[in-house]
Structure 1
Amino acid sequence: MAFKGTKRVNHQAVEQADTRAGGVEAVDRALSILGCFTEHDEGLSLAEISSRTGLYKSTILRLTESLVRSGYIVRMADKRFAVGHTPMILASFYRRRFKIEAFVRPLLLSLVEQAGESASFFRKEGNDGICLFRADCRHLIRDQIREGDVLSLDGHAAGQVLARFSTAKPRTRTALMAKIPFISLGKGDSETAAMAVPVFSGSEGLIGALAVSGPLTRFTPEKLVSIRPLLLGFGERLSISLASKQYAQARS
């Protein structure tokens, strides 16, 4: 999530709150340093990190020594800090855990080519949806979703798919299949539209949500009609690749 604003932070209140929150406060503070970087930051100064996290500069300097040694961040020649290589390695481990990248990425590229809009694959983690894989369309103006972004389950169409299918019993699931794809117009983000379908695995059941999304202004009724059969077809193809016959069973 992009950092917004430059309001004054009460450092003492932040650090006192850390001591009351439970867990290991040094770890929480180190993670807050990592979490303050955005995709637009080539590097952050000590003052910028302090402003974003609410931590004292002395605390940040102490914690960054460990983060630099372990490769989570790097110290640049101009004394600013940037994200290091270790988070990228961990991200690759996370994606590899699901063993579906070889199936999903080519399909996303093909879906983008045919639909003319960006496509994403989301996985449910706890009470959130996580974007595991993403393929951007060629339009200069598009919705800004990145791999690793967290999605609310009550707005975006993909979030609705994950929320409703993850708890559905067999009979309810059959009824839900008759309602797909789910559509969100200006929900979660007032300027974004999305259409999503479930993806199933033969061994796990619901494994994720496949979505096409873009600016609300481009998702006209005609566009929604044209994307619908494409998305349903790609959702079924991916599910079949993962040894699931859920789409065929829903039609029978």
Structure 2
Amino acid sequence: MSRKGNPEQAVQKQSAPAGVAALERGLSILRTLGQQEGLSLTEIAQRSDLNKATALRLLRTLEQQGFVWRDGRQLYYFGYALAVITRNLSMDNWLASSMQPELDLLAKQTGETASFFNCSGEQRLCVAVAMGWRDVGHRLCTGDTLPMTGASGHVLTEFSDGRPKDYEFKVFQSLGERVAELAALAVPVFSGDGKLLGALGLSGTRTRFQEDEYRQELCAQLGVSLKRIHSAVP
């Protein structure tokens, strides 16, 4: 009399090779990004020796699980889930590295200086920045510490306790507050559980920012950028 095996075990044995193959392909994508981040779907597929359909399917899964994230230019980067697993990357470092592509895009689109600040004691610390392409603008460097003034300072002060239950999107602005010739706009960046992570901002000359139509365009750009950031932040 022949023995009938466990149907569930049989299914597992049959499906295991496919699962292992998918895992290997996913790890291949992560290795590719480990060599160079900021790659497009086509570049990842080519370097990982995958067809685009397979690469896209795997990237979507990796993105959903937080292992990769995609910026507004459809370029892929490591996600925060890897930092949680390895414990080798702090939230601040991850924010700085993950924010940089978005700041680069903001600076390119607007020509103004795009920055990300968080708190450092009683001051604010610039943890990431991208300079704009305009001849006259705001000079700012990563690591600069400034007083809790200006648009970013107001954001960090206003939301130091996190996102209020009745929070509504608002762009903070300052005109000549810290330096007479400069102006800035900023919005808060929150984690999924409402913790304040920092302030995303644009800064430039007061003359440009005083123009209502131009300022509204910058506010809209900040809103779009913030939405992409919040979709990637855990």
2:103 equivalent in structure 1: 108
Identity of aligned residues (%): 34
How is 1:125-136 mapped onto 2 (pairs within 5 angstroms)? 125-136=120-131
Residues 129 and 151 of structure 1 are in contact (CA less than 8 Å); yes or no, is this contact kept in structure 2? Answer: yes
User: RMSD in angstroms over aligned alpha carbons?
Assistant: 2.2
User: Number of matched residues?
Assistant: 146
Shift of 1:170: 2.7
Structure 1 residue 101: Cα displacement = 2.9
Q: What residue identity is the alignment partner of 2:154?
A: Q
Contact residue 113 and residue 139 of structure 2 kept, 8 A:
no
- Deviating above 2 A after TM superposition, structure 1's stretches of 4 or more consecutive aligned residues are 93-98, 167-171
1:195 maps to what in 2?
A: 185
| Structure with the greater alpha carbon radius of gyration | 2
Q: Does 1:164 align with 2:158?
A: yes
- Name structure 1 gaps, 5 residues minimum: 1-92, 244-252
Q: What is the TM-score normalised by the length of structure 1?
A: 0.53
Asked if structure 2 preserves the Cα contact closer than 8 Å seen for 1:95 and 1:101, the reply is no
Confirm whether residue 217 of structure 1 aligns to residue 212 of structure 2.
no
Query: Gapped runs of 5+ residues in structure 2?
Result: 1-87
Relative to the length of structure 2, the TM-score reads: 0.57
Q: 1:107 to 1:168 in 2, by over 3 A?
A: closer
Residue type at the aligned position of 1:224: R
CA distance in 2, matches of 1:148, 1:214: 19
| Alignment of structure 1 residues 55-134 onto 2, 5 Å | 97-134=92-129
Structure 1 counterpart of 2:134: 139
Would you say the 8 A contact 2:183–2:205 is kept in 1? yes
CA 1:169–1:231 in 2, change beyond 3 Å: closer, same or farther?
closer
Which one of the candidate residues 200, 205, 208 is aligned to 2:198?
208
Structure 2 equivalent of residue 242 of structure 1: 233
